Amino acid sequence: MKTNKHSVSIEDRTVYSHFNPANPTACVGFTEETAIQDVRKAVLSAKQAQIQWKNRSSLERGDFLQKAADILEKDKDEIAAIATKEMGKRFVEMVGEVLRGAAILRYYAQEGTRGIGEILPSHNPANTLYSLRVPVGVVAAITPWNFPVAIPVWKIAPALVYGNTVVWKPSQESSMTAKKIAEVFHLAGIPNAVLQIVYGDGDTVGNELVEHPAIAAITFTGSNSVGRKIASKSVEHNKKYQLELGGKNPVIVLEDANLNLAAKRTIEGAMKQTGQRCTGTSVAYVVNEIYHSFVEKLLDEVKQIKVGDGFNSSVGMGPIASKKQFDKVLAYIAKGVDEGAELLYGGGKLAGADYNGGYFVEPTIFGGVTKDMTIAKEEIFGPVLCIIKVQNYAEALVKANDNMYGLSASLFTTNLDQALHFIQNSEVGLVQINGETGGAEPQAPFGGMKESSSGSREQGQAAKEFFTTYKTVTISPSAQ
C-alpha cells in the first residue's frame, strides 16, 4: 500500500487505487503493478529494440522529441489536471511544469543536429583518428512524484536522442501522470519497445531493474537511503549510475540586501509546490542587524498564502502529496517545537469543511533555530522555513557550508565582492544571487555536491556525459 494509494490483489495482480490528497475519499483512478516476469520482458525487448534505435539518424530521433513536445504542449491542461488530482500540486504550477517539459523536449530535439565526436591529430599522418559518442544501451529511469513531468522528461529525452532505449519506473504516487506522459512519447511515433513503462515499488520492480544484467545504466532521483542502495548495487553489477538526491538549501540575507525582494524570494523558495522540492529553501541565515525587520517582511509575505485545493485559482499552496509525507512534515514541526525553536507562523494541520479531510499543512516559519536542531539539519520536504541569526557574512557562509547536502544556495546582497566570493566558496552545485534556491533552465547543468548527488549532472550538454560513452577509432591506410 502506498501513502494515498490503496492496493488490492486481483488474480495475482496488484491494482493501486489513487486518491486525491486534497480529498482522500475521492478515487481518481487506478494503475496495475507490473509483474516481475513482465519487467524482465520489458528490459529484454528494450535491449533488442536498441539495436535498431541507435542506428537511426540522430536527426530523426530528435524529430520524435519535437513531435512529443508539440503533443505535450497541446495537452497541457489535461496532463496538469491529472497530476493535480493525483499528487496535489496546484494546477497553475503543473501547467508550468508541463510547458517546461515541452521546452526540455525541444532542447534535446536539437541535440540530434549537434556533433557527436571530434577529429584528432595522430602521430602517424597517414592515419585518421577520431572519437565518437555512442549510447550506453538500455537505461533504467527511476523517478519521483514531486515533479511528475519535468524530471522524467529530462531523463528520458536525452537518453532517447543519444540512441539509448529506456525502461521507466515512475513513483507509484504519480503513476497515472506517468502513464499519460508515456502515451505522449508513443503518440509522437517513438516505438513502444524503445520507451517502456513499468509500475511498482522500489523493493520489487525497482530492484529488478537495478540488478537486471541487460540494464546498462540507472538514472535515479529520490531519497538518499535508496540512492545509496542503487549505488552499491550498480557498482556490484558494473553499471553506470546517476543519482540526484536530497537537499537542505540555505539562503543568506545580508544587511545591504533588498529586503523586500529577499523576503519574497525566500518565501517562494520555501513554500512553492508546498515545499516539496529538493531545491526548496529550508534555512535562512540572517545577519543580526536586519533580523527583526526581515522576519516582519517574511511574515507579511507568508500571510498572503491561501492554502487549499490546487484547482482553486486563488490558492497559493496545495496539499501535501500523501498521507505518509503529511505525517512526516507534522512530525518535523512537532520536533522543532520540542527542541525549543520559536514557532513564528503556522505549524498546524488544516481541517474543517473547507479541507475535506485533505493533507493540508499551514506554511510554517521557525525563528530562534540553532544549527544543532533536527529541523536545521534534516530534509523535511514540506512548507517549513527555519531562520538562524548570524553576526556577519563570514559566519553565515561557514554555517551554510556545514551541511551534508550541497544542492542549491542563495545570497541576497548588493555587494559585488561578496557575491563573487559566495559564488567561489559556496559548496553547492547551484548558486543563486538575489534569487530563490529553486529553478533551473533546460540548457544549464543541474545537480549538487556532497550527499546531494553522485557527481554527474542532468540537463544541458552535461547530460551527454551520462547517456553516452566514447568510442575511439583509428583508420590506417591498407597500404603504407
Query: Known catalytic residues?
Result: 244
In angstroms, the CA 77 to CA 63 distance is 23
Asked if 156 and 166 touch (Cβ cutoff 8 Å), the reply is: yes
Give the residues across from 365 on adjacent strands.
345, 385
Distances in Å between the alpha carbon of 383 and those of 208, 277, 352, 354, 370? Answer: 34, 10, 20, 20, 19
Amino acid at 99: L
At 281, phi and psi to the nearest 5? -75, 125
Nearest to 418 by CA among 263, 252, 283: 252
Q: Per the structure block, which three cell numbers stand in for 211?
A: 540488478
Q: 215-221 and 240-244: which strand pairing? A: parallel
In angstroms, the CA 370 to CA 389 distance is 8
Q: Per the structure block, which three cell numbers stand in for 300?
A: 507579511
In angstroms, the CA 81 to CA 88 distance is 10
> DSSP letters of 356-404?
TT---B--EEEES--TTSHHHHS---SSEEEEEEESSHHHHHHHHHSSS
In angstroms, the CA 298 to CA 29 distance is 39
> DSSP letters of 143-212?
--SSSTTHHHHHHHHHHHHTT-EEEEE--GGGHHHHHHHHHHHHHTT--TTTEEE--S-IIIIIHHHHH-
Asked if 120 and 211 touch (Cβ cutoff 8 Å), the reply is: no
Query: Measured on CA atoms in the order 142, 146, 149, 153, is the torsion positive or negative?
Result: negative
At 450, phi and psi to the nearest 5? 55, -130
Please give the DSSP secondary-structure letter assigned to residue 33.
P
